[in-house]
Amino acid sequence: MAPSPRSASTKPQRGNTRTTLLDAALRLVRKQGWAATSVDQLCAAGGVTKGAFFHHFASKDALGVAAAQHWSDVTGPLFAKADYHRHADPLDRIFGYLDFRAAIAAGPLESFTCFAGTLVQEVFATSDPIRVACGASIVGHAERLAEDFRAALALHTPRVAVSADSLAIYTQTVLQGGFVLSKAKGERSPLVEAIDHLKRYIALLFQKELLQ
């Protein structure tokens, strides 16, 4: 399961109000969307006053921009410490990454779908700052995966000419599409099946046997 922001059942400690509000944004937006999440709800979920909210954020949109970066800060350590990094072959690390993605797709949809992807689908035409911040979060994650794709291209000859960056972005495209279709269906199978298809594509591209 993806890392979940801490429960808002206790009053935030002094100095943690900003983080508490960001955590509340991750929880609420992933569950009910951006438009349905009000400043009042964010304050109630975080156990803070509206005055405290506007002390830290000039507007709801300002919080949205910060929350996109907070999403990267929260999820980054989960992937950085994951076991798939132990593989010597970069292709095995990529397959391990995809297996890890499937493994953490458990529980309610809001517990494993992407905050940045959820947010940008709503605001891409109405808030350029949030759109850019969400794009930076998703692309930043892809850039870390591109490092393994670059290593894989140096070690294995693909069937056709491809770039590491394009493969990393394509991987994120498949995952984001899987999140959307899982929401549409109300369960995780579209994401898990998309990951399986992606693994087969990568195996065929690099002419590598895919172990079951």
Is residue 66 within 8 A of residue 22, CB to CB? The reply is yes
Share of the chain above pLDDT 90, in %: 91
pLDDT tens profile 161-183: 999 999 999 999 999 999 999 99
Confidence at 2, pLDDT banded by 50, 70, 90 = low
Burial call 17-31: b when 16+ CB within 10 Å, e when fewer: bbbbbbbbbbbbbbe
> Global pTM?
0.89
Confidence at 6, pLDDT banded by 50, 70, 90 = very low
Report the distance separating Cα 5 and Cα 136, nearest Å.
Answer: 21
Domains plus CATH for the chain? 61-205 (1.10.357.10)
- Mean pLDDT (whole number) for 60-76: 97
Give the three-class secondary structure for 107: coil
- Mean pLDDT (whole number) for 107-125: 96
What pLDDT, on the 0 to 100 scale, is given for residue 14? 47
Give me Rg for the CA atoms of the chain. 19
Report the distance separating Cα 165 and Cα 45, nearest Å.
Answer: 38
Both tokens assigned to 184? 């549409």
The average confidence (pLDDT) of the chain is 93
Report the distance separating Cα 86 and Cα 138, nearest Å.
Answer: 24
Q: Report H helices in the chain.
A: 17-32, 39-46, 50-56, 60-80, 90-103, 115-123, 128-155, 164-185, 189-205
**Residue 127 or residue 10, greater confidence:** 127
pLDDT exceeds 70 at position 57: yes
Q: CA of 191: how far to CAs of 122, 181, 209, in Å? A: 20, 7, 22
Query: What are the φ/ψ torsions at residue 150 (nearest 5 degrees)?
Result: -65, -45
Both tokens assigned to 123? 């605001």
pLDDT exceeds 90 at position 211: no
What pLDDT, on the 0 to 100 scale, is given for residue 1? 43
Q: CA of 87: how far to CAs of 92, 98, 150, in Å? A: 6, 13, 15
Is residue 198 within 8 A of residue 98, CB to CB? The reply is yes
Q: How far apart are the first and last CA of the chain?
A: 22
What pLDDT, on the 0 to 100 scale, is given for residue 210? 74
